[in-house]
């Protein structure tokens, strides 16, 4: 049952903490979920303890954890510490969307619209490249940027127009982000209230659609040694994987096609033969089933094992070659 009261959230957070002790490989994701439940229960000091624990352990995404820590601290009176964390994140300029989105929304929640606009803009500059399609994560930054600029009465610029163009909901962004909507909620006019309810329903529908896919759409990647072991043990899978080079090309091609079709939140999960065989046994299915491969990828993604795709052009390629992405599978002519 979904938690609805502070007591429910505390119970769920404590359950997640116990689960994290049992499954250390998923520790980070489980602790982040526990911290979120403590925040919803207004147990912000306990959430801070979890963020401190994660940062001390060296999380895979330290700037995201620091951003969440800043948002939490500000909410229970530690504004100076929160600001220091936000300033540190901005100075570090991480090349990932989540920290920028979190700190910008934190500033927005405290009516610091100009600073929020600056954070959204700084993050967008780092993630958007002229010769590449705009990713789902970068579009989320542009949407947030559009919102705070609309609230502040800042004139539209080129990126606001891009946000409008990429928006797929039935209600235009200018309407969704219209400050007058707040006034409409206090109106005595039934027609105005009905119109605002329709807008809110549309906005809620978009949010639910995003939340319905909390994990990336993941494509399965086998390192060279693992793929060799897999097809040696299960020769029928050579039809699926004729060679390692073909396998890598197929991954990049599939992800580019998904991105071109508008599919958001793409990622890559790396398989291992022992893990795959254990999964097959748990599903009471033969490892030679090609259907099982997709289910295995989805399960790994649900456990927080996915690496977001595409990498930044100057980051190391996902394939394990050691070369930077733009000179490897990120080359426009590769896939």
DSSP string, 121-142: HHHHHHH--TTSPPPHHHHHHH
pLDDT category at 24 given cuts 50, 70, 90 is confident
4 — pLDDT class (breaks 50, 70, 90): low
184, pLDDT greater than 80? no
Model confidence at 240: pLDDT above 80: yes
C-alpha span between 129 and 153 (Å, rounded): 27
Point out which residues pair with 220 in neighbouring strands: 269
Residues 135 and 127: beta-carbon distance below 8 Å: yes
Distance of CA 179 to the CA centre of its chain: 27
For range 309-331, the mean pLDDT: 88
The pLDDT, as a whole number, for residue 121 is 96
User: What does DSSP assign to residue 166?
Assistant: H
Predicted local distance difference test score (pLDDT) of residue 259:
85
- Tell me the mean pLDDT in the region 185-211: 65
The pLDDT assigned to 1 comes to 37
* Residue 167 pLDDT greater than 70, yes or no: yes
Rounded Cα distance between 331 and 335, Å, is: 8
Q: Map residue 269 onto helix, strand or coil.
A: strand
Query: Is a pLDDT exceeding 70 seen at residue 213?
Result: no
pTM across the whole model: 0.60
Could you tell me the strand order of the sheet in which 307-308 lies?
217-221, 266-270, 307-308
Query: Is the pLDDT score of 256 beyond 70?
Result: yes
Mean pLDDT, rounded, of the chain = 86
266 SS3 class: strand
Q: What single DSSP character describes residue 316?
A: B
| pLDDT bucket at 242, cuts 50 / 70 / 90 | very high
Host H or E run for residue 57:
helix 44-57
Check residues 335 and 143 and name the one with the higher pLDDT. Answer: 143
Higher-confidence residue of 26 and 17: namely 17
Using one digit for the tens of pLDDT, what is the confidence trace for 48-89?
999 999 999 988 889 999 999 999 999 989 999 999 999 999
pLDDT at 188 over 90: no
pLDDT at 206 over 70: no
Who contacts 9 (Cβ-Cβ below 8 Å, separation ≥6)?
3, 37, 38, 40, 41, 43
| Cα separations in angstroms, 120 against 95, 176, 315 | 12, 18, 22
pLDDT for the residue 172: 80
- Tell me what the mean pLDDT of segment 289-312 comes to: 84
CA atoms within 13 A on the CB side of 62: 12
Quick one: the chain helix, strand, coil %, rounded to 5?
65, 5, 30
**Which three-class secondary structure state does DSSP give residue 220?**
strand
Are residues 252 and 260 in contact, defined by beta-carbon separation less than 8 angstroms?
no
Q: Are 301 and 269 in contact (CB under 8 A)?
A: yes
Does pLDDT of 212 surpass 60?
no
Q: Mean pLDDT, to the nearest integer, of 239-255?
A: 93
pLDDT band at 2 (very low <50, low <70, confident <90, very high): very low
């Amino acid at each position: 049952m979904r938690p609805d009261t502070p007591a429910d959230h505390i119970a769920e957070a404590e359950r997640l903490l116990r689960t994290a002790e049992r499954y250390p490989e998923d520790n980070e994701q489980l602790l982040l979920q526990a911290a979120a439940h403590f925040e919803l229960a207004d147990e912000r000091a306990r959430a801070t303890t979890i963020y401190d624990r994660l940062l001390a352990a060296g999380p895979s995404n330290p700037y995201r954890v620091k951003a969440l820590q800043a948002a939490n601290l500000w909410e229970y009176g530690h504004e100076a510490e929160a600001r220091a964390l936000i300033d540190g994140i901005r100075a570090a300029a991480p090349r990932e969307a989540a920290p920028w989105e979190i700190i910008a929304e934190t500033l927005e929640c405290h009516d610091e619209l100009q600073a929020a606009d600056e954070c959204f803009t700084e993050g967008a500059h780092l993630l958007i490249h002229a010769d590449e399609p705009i990713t789902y994560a970068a579009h989320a930054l542009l949407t947030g940027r559009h919102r705070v600029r609309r609230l502040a009465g800042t004139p539209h610029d080129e990126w606001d127009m891009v946000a409008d163009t990429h928006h797929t909901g039935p209600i235009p962004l200018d309407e969704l982000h219209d400050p007058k909507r707040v006034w409409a909620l206090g109106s005595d006019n039934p027609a105005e209230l009905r119109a605002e309810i329709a807008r809110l329903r549309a906005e809620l529908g978009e949010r639910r659609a995003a939340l319905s896919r909390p994990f990336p759409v993941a494509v399965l990647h086998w390192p060279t040694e693992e793929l060799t072991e897999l097809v040696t043990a299960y020769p029928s899978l050579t039809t699926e994987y004729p060679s390692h080079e073909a396998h890598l090309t197929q991954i990049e091609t599939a992800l580019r096609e998904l991105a071109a079709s508008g599919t958001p939140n793409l990622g890559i999960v790396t398989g291992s033969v022992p893990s795959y065989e254990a999964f097959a046994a748990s599903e009471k299915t033969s490892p030679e089933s090609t259907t099982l491969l997709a289910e295995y990828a989805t399960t790994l993604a649900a456990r927080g094992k996915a690496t977001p795709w595409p990498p930044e052009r100057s980051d190391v390629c996902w394939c394990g070659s050691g070369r930077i992405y733009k000179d490897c599978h990120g080359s426009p002519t590769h896939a």
